[in-house]
Structure 1
């Protein structure tokens, strides 16, 4: 009943003025006049605290208070009551109760429209209605603009001094001080876990910083000297590695919804890989995060913008684009702007802005007007689809950036272009000559047809055309005859072949392109869309930032550049917190704020608020350096703890929210494959360039749609390159990635899920790519120091350490050696099975097919271990 009444309230709020006037005339106005007749309006000033606030508390705040925002209305401050609600109008018009929706709704006699609804509470008395009427007419005076206390996330972070701790404790940096203080403050004080073993620690930090395992040589060297200095030196080498950017780009590309295809049914491919390469390069260079932000949101608007800064704007060109038949281009464009606003809110502000697309945010201090004012910053880019001819289909267009060629390539291209023009000129001349000689050629051909042997060289259809009077030939016949004549002419055929050769050569010099943002010279008009419907325009708005956050300071007309600078201003309470929290979650499996995408009132409170604020300020004070924060985290004693867990710890800290132990997490999808490739020795370190096509099961790209692209499996080292370079088609992402929880990237993904399913084990055991990786590892094991005659147990130990870094236990070596010997015996008894399993090219010199087949079984087992795909 309450919901039904609320819907009625919405319908009246949204009524056209004429209809609303009619409703009011038949209900509230007549009734209020009768009240006025019986009790004259009191002239003294209404005391808000004594008379108005009690009415709101008694009748209204359950539905329109700090915890709820029915109809987009909160009665918690004068600012809120003057804010446009879900109808697009404010609840009151100051000084005019007769034009105020709030007054009409409390005074109407219509039970379906009156507020509060009959099932929600007691109706206002006539005196209370008169009091609110007078209060509105007198100017709606509110003695204070303060609402409920500000939510912690909207208060700028302060860098408190780390607590000073006494007693036996490992404090490597301030992170540990905050963590240990929390441990000690528990009802039953807790202590730090013991340090992780050197091998486990080195593997953990290597997987975290570069997404690849350490070499066995590095592990053995660190085991001999596991000093803090040796560890720091190794951390510094990882931070300087080009592999660092490749690893951390994966998370950012999830946020950017990066893909190599448009999305939706057709899901055709497009060029965006230059943006992916820019992200990797920027992370490797430790581009300050404020500049990293500005360039992606508004690099094109920077003075004398460089090519790289323009490429960076691909962040917001990664949106999906619908090119299906019958699509409304304007609706498609608006949906892309919605996506840009929503992604910006999630990535930088940890805010669910999309809630305000159709109405005022129910819980956080962001209104629908705020939403469309931010929308206005992004609404000045051109259409990004165009119609294909006169058909009902579309293709992706919009601003593209072409990379300039180097000087030598440009010269070669110019020379080839000249050759093409020259050959084309000759071909045109020859074509004209053939047209002029057509009658004579026809006579010759007709004479030829009289010779039965020669006539067999002429197609039957052409013979029929030649025997048809020229005036009676159809256009199709004339075209076919002309084509046959050209093919018969050696000069024409030679020129045509030359032209095709030159054209193919020119293709190698076509510049690489990428989608970018460009601002239109004439800005669009901006409106609030009622209920989020782009066809139902409400009040006009201009680009502006939310009142709940710091003010926009700019000397220029507000645009995307001004917005980007506002976003990373030091006064912003959210950006630094949201960013360091997201990184923290990558190291520990969850953020200090668990709801990484929601720092609002409905999100989780931080488990360690002082630490979060300390990290946020530290981040800004150190030139927004990502690598600085990452080094702080991995150098902390908290990070270096053992991940062993006891029943007692599981009882008091089951999800490790207090950090009573080190992190133990399954690797991300791309890292699982990268880790396996590195272990097998197959990994290619080639960087950048167009996406690659590693092996996958056949037929996965077959689907309903037009011009479906083909999956052309790479045959060079590209099939062994890192996961960040693998082709990402939204309708069919790389299957092993999907099985390990990779998203389709149709929208911004803040945090991937982490599941455990049988499909994952089946992938590692049977997927063609992982079989190939297992063969590579088997070859590595079989040929290890082949001249020194290592024993099977030594090779098993070597294999085990390659996969998990630590030394295996005796029983583990015993078990694996027994499996190897059993399989070896089987294949020696069945040599044909071994030869079928191991192809000739995968049999190294000096190693028979039977031993290779047995080592393949060991490799397959080790690559499928939980410990192999887990950092711990």
Structure 2
């Protein structure tokens, strides 16, 4: 369980000088609940089994006596948290927690004011707030963009001012990376920088173009795959491979088509339960079959089936509700109002999948669905629909007495000519020696090629079968959700143990959130509708917070996977609620929300930090400057391939195996399988399509901080290590990409060194080098030329890295020198930073 402690800076900001209207009062949700949750609720909170001294502090009615509202001098709680005696002070020293002086002062003021409680902010339905009531108190009230009104009013309260807008090259690189995961081309930089239209007009044209690009869906799908724990293997023991990539392609298509978020959620949670569900809607439910599967010998099927159900319940709660549901599997939640019974009521919605718990290594696990590649799936579905009645009629003919009579007569009259026309599987064996399989083959031959009734039907069915089989061969057999005719019983499991069932529970949403509507079924479809219902206070907030974090590096709620009591409070609560309601009111239009965020001045500010901003807001919580953070792993790799002219933008299909150290699979995976990397175009596909084996994740991606996908993961970890620098300087992917960019510099830029440096800067950084940078690059280039002229073999070795061939029309030492310059630029801090 995460323990979110407030920093001294945060507390000091709450106790800021008078005149700061946001900090004058003490608010329970913002100021007091985090103190109680961090220090008190573990022993005096929702979990009755862990409660000490029969004192409960999360409910006011039960805490009043200990708090003494209006009389802080009589408050037992205040007395204990400020005590000096180690035997008296709370929390006890052995918990390694303590209430600071600043927090104690907040408690004193709150108690003096009457110790009023508030429902937790995230469990209250967001209400539309008029942005016009917010304005920039420093710069007048002429703001047009609603996001800027909220942000700049908050900045004014903090004594901060917004930063000026970033320059055009920075804006273009920022918005292109955030919406597509690829940098702008040098030509795009040239076009935008020289566009005579006002910046607002030119910029919004760029935004609309990027949102319409198929690159958008590929980029936005990546974090969704992390959340859905998508991978290409099962994850246990020998880690057998699986086929789930058609579901991944469904996600990309849904995002590119701007499928409304409520439909996006419903189809993934319960697409199979929709009336007349299409193949795509059934395929969408692969979301909750992406979990790991165990095929180890000796496994107990029911034990692992329970694990899979738990994974689905916990993933659903994390992804859509932003709650740490798994904390209530063995006991009541220590901090949130999630009882153990609540846990298993949600569990019950996912407990009716007809599965046995034991996987079948390398063959996926039922229930499964055969699909073609996504672009052909409607044709595949129509073919199946046309074929099905014909197959049913053929089956009916095959079962009639009249058919049996005709079959026996035919069999008794088989002559040499007729016998020769039989299938190869039976023609080599005398009829009297046919086994069951051969008899069935002969019977099928008679039905479809000889019998008058069957032959007419088969003439229509056989071409459809061939078409179905051809289309099916382009896709895969994937795991999906399905519902049993008779629901399983669900029991609360004592201590979470699969073999210790307790009281029986039924599928039900928690009482402390708005109830499901009566017209909704008590199954996954009803749950999905409840999740995206307008009255649900969590779903829209969680979604827009994650969307905000995509662009700014962190959310308005920094704990993106925890909107509960231990989660962070929103830095801009009114903005978060306005965005949530706006999202719903636009029809859950995700692209519209992305456009809204990236067109704001808040997003378009320069990310340069001033000393005052660094002092007052070091983490940029109040958004006085633009976003700046390290790029995700997939973007770092894809950017290099793109700048080097190597990227192959083929959409969809089976995963690909790019470069990887030789022998890595053999060292780690049971059975010592061989990793056979792909050749040609497959080496240069976007990282979204990289083969993801759970036992041996792609090492390049993991070193650059990609999430590992064993379980649902929200957000992106960010580190900066020497190993990453070594990787980017020496890994074949990056060296080959630098060689590709070096070749482009020689062929696509002008003849002068400064023109080539400018081209490379634009290709990687989206801007022109300044005078000092040009001088450094030209000087370094001359040094590389001198070295490679002295060591021509070193030049040849450098430009031979990777499968693609160096351009034979380019002089090797010059190409090597330009490659070294490209390599230098690709490894700048700016190159791996979103700013």
After TM superposition, the score normalised by the length of structure 1 is 0.72
Alpha carbons of structure 1 residues 622 and 408: separation in structure 2 relative to 1, 3 Å: closer
Alpha carbons of structure 1 residues 739 and 75: separation in structure 2 relative to 1, 3 Å: same
> How do 1:525-540 and structure 2 match up within 5 A?
525-540=489-504
User: Quick one: distance in 1 between partners of 2:237 and 2:536?
Assistant: 40
Q: Which residue of 1 aligns with 2:371?
A: 403
Tell me, yes or no, if the aligned pair for 1:666 and 1:871 is still in contact at 8 Å: yes
Q: Which residue of 2 aligns with 1:195?
A: 165
Say which of 740, 763, 776 aligns to 1:815.
776
Q: Which residue of 1 aligns with 2:714?
A: 750
User: Quick one: distance in 2 between partners of 1:696 and 1:286?
Assistant: 35
Tell me, yes or no, if the aligned pair for 1:384 and 1:399 is still in contact at 8 Å: no
Say which of 211, 224, 228 aligns to 2:181.
211
Highest Rg: 1 or 2?
Answer: 1
User: Quick one: distance in 2 between partners of 1:664 and 1:242?
Assistant: 25
Q: Does 2:601 align with 1:634?
A: no
User: Quick one: distance in 1 between partners of 2:692 and 2:635?
Assistant: 16
Q: Which residue of 2 aligns with 1:157?
A: 126
User: Quick one: distance in 1 between partners of 2:699 and 2:219?
Assistant: 20
Say which of 819, 825, 829 aligns to 1:862.
825
Q: Which residue of 2 aligns with 1:301?
A: 273
Larger deviation, residues 505-514 vs 342-351? 505-514
The alpha carbon displacement at 1:514 in A equals: 1.4
The alpha carbon displacement at 1:811 in A equals: 1.7
User: Quick one: distance in 1 between partners of 2:580 and 2:707?
Assistant: 28
> How do 1:313-712 and structure 2 match up within 5 A?
313-383=285-355, 385-386=357-358, 396-403=364-371, 425-426=423-424, 429-430=427-428, 509=473, 511-555=475-519, 557-703=521-667, 705-706=669-670, 709-712=673-676
Q: Which residue of 2 aligns with 1:273?
A: 245
User: Quick one: distance in 1 between partners of 2:713 and 2:257?
Assistant: 24
The alpha carbon displacement at 1:703 in A equals: 4.0
Tell me, yes or no, if the aligned pair for 1:268 and 1:708 is still in contact at 8 Å: no
Q: Does 2:155 align with 1:183?
A: yes
Alpha carbons of structure 1 residues 768 and 77: separation in structure 2 relative to 1, 3 Å: closer
Equivalenced residue count is 668
Q: Which residue of 1 aligns with 2:809?
A: 846
The alpha carbon displacement at 1:423 in A equals: 10
1:527 partner SS = strand
Tell me, yes or no, if the aligned pair for 1:385 and 1:395 is still in contact at 8 Å: no
Larger deviation, residues 339-348 vs 423-432? 423-432
Q: Which residue of 1 aligns with 2:401?
A: none
Q: Which residue of 2 aligns with 1:4?
A: none
Larger deviation, residues 713-722 vs 659-668? 713-722
**1:373-398 CA distances to partner (integer Å, 9 max, x unpaired)?**
1111000002255577xxxx896421
**1:336-356 CA distances to partner (integer Å, 9 max, x unpaired)?**
111111111111111111111
Alpha carbons of structure 1 residues 430 and 704: separation in structure 2 relative to 1, 3 Å: farther
Say which of 191, 198, 205 aligns to 1:221.
191
User: Quick one: distance in 2 between partners of 1:802 and 1:157?
Assistant: 43
**1:134-160 CA distances to partner (integer Å, 9 max, x unpaired)?**
xxxxxxxxxxxxx95311111100111
Larger deviation, residues 695-704 vs 796-805? 695-704
2:502 partner SS = strand
Tell me, yes or no, if the aligned pair for 1:66 and 1:148 is still in contact at 8 Å: no
Q: Does 2:208 align with 1:253?
A: no
Alpha carbons of structure 1 residues 595 and 77: separation in structure 2 relative to 1, 3 Å: closer
User: Quick one: distance in 2 between partners of 1:718 and 1:608?
Assistant: 44
The alpha carbon displacement at 1:792 in A equals: 1.8
User: Quick one: distance in 2 between partners of 1:611 and 1:422?
Assistant: 79
**1:262-295 CA distances to partner (integer Å, 9 max, x unpaired)?**
1122111100001100111101111111111100
User: Quick one: distance in 1 between partners of 2:234 and 2:369?
Assistant: 17
Alpha carbons of structure 1 residues 161 and 217: separation in structure 2 relative to 1, 3 Å: same
Q: RMSD across aligned C-alpha pairs, in angstroms?
A: 3.2
User: Quick one: distance in 2 between partners of 1:310 and 1:325?
Assistant: 31
Alpha carbons of structure 1 residues 833 and 602: separation in structure 2 relative to 1, 3 Å: closer
2:127 partner SS = coil
2:665 partner SS = coil
Alpha carbons of structure 1 residues 659 and 507: separation in structure 2 relative to 1, 3 Å: closer
2:351 partner SS = coil
1:519 partner SS = coil
Q: Does 2:139 align with 1:168?
A: yes
Q: Does 2:684 align with 1:720?
A: yes
Alpha carbons of structure 1 residues 540 and 807: separation in structure 2 relative to 1, 3 Å: same
Alpha carbons of structure 1 residues 327 and 842: separation in structure 2 relative to 1, 3 Å: same
Tell me, yes or no, if the aligned pair for 1:329 and 1:383 is still in contact at 8 Å: no
Alpha carbons of structure 1 residues 654 and 70: separation in structure 2 relative to 1, 3 Å: farther
1:783 partner SS = helix
The alpha carbon displacement at 1:581 in A equals: 0.6
Tell me, yes or no, if the aligned pair for 2:60 and 2:117 is still in contact at 8 Å: no
The alpha carbon displacement at 1:836 in A equals: 3.1
2:830 partner SS = coil
User: Quick one: distance in 2 between partners of 1:704 and 1:231?
Assistant: 49
Q: Which residue of 1 aligns with 2:28?
A: none
**1:82-131 CA distances to partner (integer Å, 9 max, x unpaired)?**
9xxxxxxxxxxxxxxxxxxxxxxxxxxxxxxxxxxx9999xxxxxxxxxx
Q: Does 2:748 align with 1:784?
A: yes
The alpha carbon displacement at 1:832 in A equals: 2.8
Alpha carbons of structure 1 residues 528 and 516: separation in structure 2 relative to 1, 3 Å: same
The alpha carbon displacement at 1:648 in A equals: 2.2
Tell me, yes or no, if the aligned pair for 1:72 and 1:360 is still in contact at 8 Å: no
Where structure 1 has 5 or more consecutive residues not aligned to the other structure, the ranges are 1-60, 83-117, 122-146, 415-420, 437-501
2:664 partner SS = coil
Say which of 248, 254, 257 aligns to 1:282.
254
Q: Does 2:758 align with 1:797?
A: yes
**1:295-321 CA distances to partner (integer Å, 9 max, x unpaired)?**
000000000001110110011000111
